[in-house]
Homo-oligomer: A and B are copies of this chain.
């Protein structure tokens, strides 16, 4: 079983409409409401691949209850810890007359020290039975900035870390098996320039020096770059996929943690991560992917050693 941690889970609301009239009144014609947050999306992708995944993290209030009801409907195992605060919402405005989307993210709920300790205890119990752990996403207010370092240290099993800023930088102390930043996140965590592939590789190497065992950098439509102690590889889809990039990184994370527990080689892991990530772009909602496209892209992605 793979344990996914989502400390700042969200109720993701997606509004579909033909076009948006800014500064006016819009009638939404399609509403999708689902449990979200990066770790939840990773678990959803793993579940779709018939891999046992457990969702833990923090959830509370009416929105937290709605999130948990949707997790149950989706058949995901819910080990979230209840908090007093209200789980945040995200609202995605998706106009069909263009590929652009506008996101509104609520701030996360305040977490008390007692709630954080209760989570740490739940995590220690769950991690004992896990083959690998995914630590994903932002930290809500009240959770220590070093949360991913302390959870990583408490995990006996290998950790995949997908975070930003200080949460990522401090998380390196726990020597995660894989970190999966995008180029901007890598730049923020290291303070280094990331304007071309060479700079990105150098910044990724500095993350390895700081403790990570491997860094896989997502490059958007340009694919993925893996910097590991065994070598550097790049994966690139042969075709560009149009769609909704939200959740593409989470699909890549799902493939990377799965490759880790299955003992795949780095080129195999990258192949699956790039194909699954592009297949997620083709799906309108985070946590889902186009299965047929995924199979097809497995033949098409080019992986090369650098």
Query: CA A93 – CA B103 in complex, angstroms?
Result: 11
Copies in the complex: 2
Within 8 A of B (CB), among A82-103: 89, 91, 93, 98, 100-103
Task: Report the minimum CB–CB distance from A100 to chain B (whole Å).
Answer: 4
Please determine whether B103 and A29 come into contact, CB atoms closer than 8 angstroms.
no
Query: CA A235 – CA B248 in complex, angstroms?
Result: 57
The 7 closest A-B pairs by CB, nearest first: A23-B100, A62-B66, A25-B103, A26-B104, A28-B106, A31-B106, A28-B104
Please determine whether B69 and A102 come into contact, CB atoms closer than 8 angstroms.
no
Known: A23-B100, A102-B22, A102-B24. A107 touches B31 (CB 8 A): yes
Within 8 A of B (CB), among A63-87: 63, 65-66, 69
Question: Within 8 Å of chain B (Cβ to Cβ): is A15?
Answer: yes
Known: A22-B22, A62-B65, A65-B62. A27 touches B107 (CB 8 A): yes
> A16-35 toward B: CB 8 Å interface, digit per residue (1/0)?
01001111111111010000
Question: Within 8 Å of chain B (Cβ to Cβ): is A105?
Answer: yes
Question: Within 8 Å of chain B (Cβ to Cβ): is A147?
Answer: no
Task: Report the minimum CB–CB distance from A28 to chain B (whole Å).
Answer: 5
Please determine whether A23 and B104 come into contact, CB atoms closer than 8 angstroms.
no
Please determine whether A101 and B23 come into contact, CB atoms closer than 8 angstroms.
yes
Knowing that A13-B89, A24-B102, A91-B104 touch, tell me 13 more A-B residue pairs with CB under 8 angstroms.
A20-B22, A22-B100, A23-B100, A24-B103, A25-B105, A27-B105, A27-B107, A28-B104, A28-B105, A28-B106, A29-B107, A62-B65, A93-B104
14 residue pairs A–B, Cβ–Cβ below 8 Å: A13-B89, A13-B91, A15-B104, A22-B102, A23-B98, A23-B101, A25-B105, A28-B105, A28-B107, A31-B107, A62-B69, A91-B91, A91-B104, A93-B104
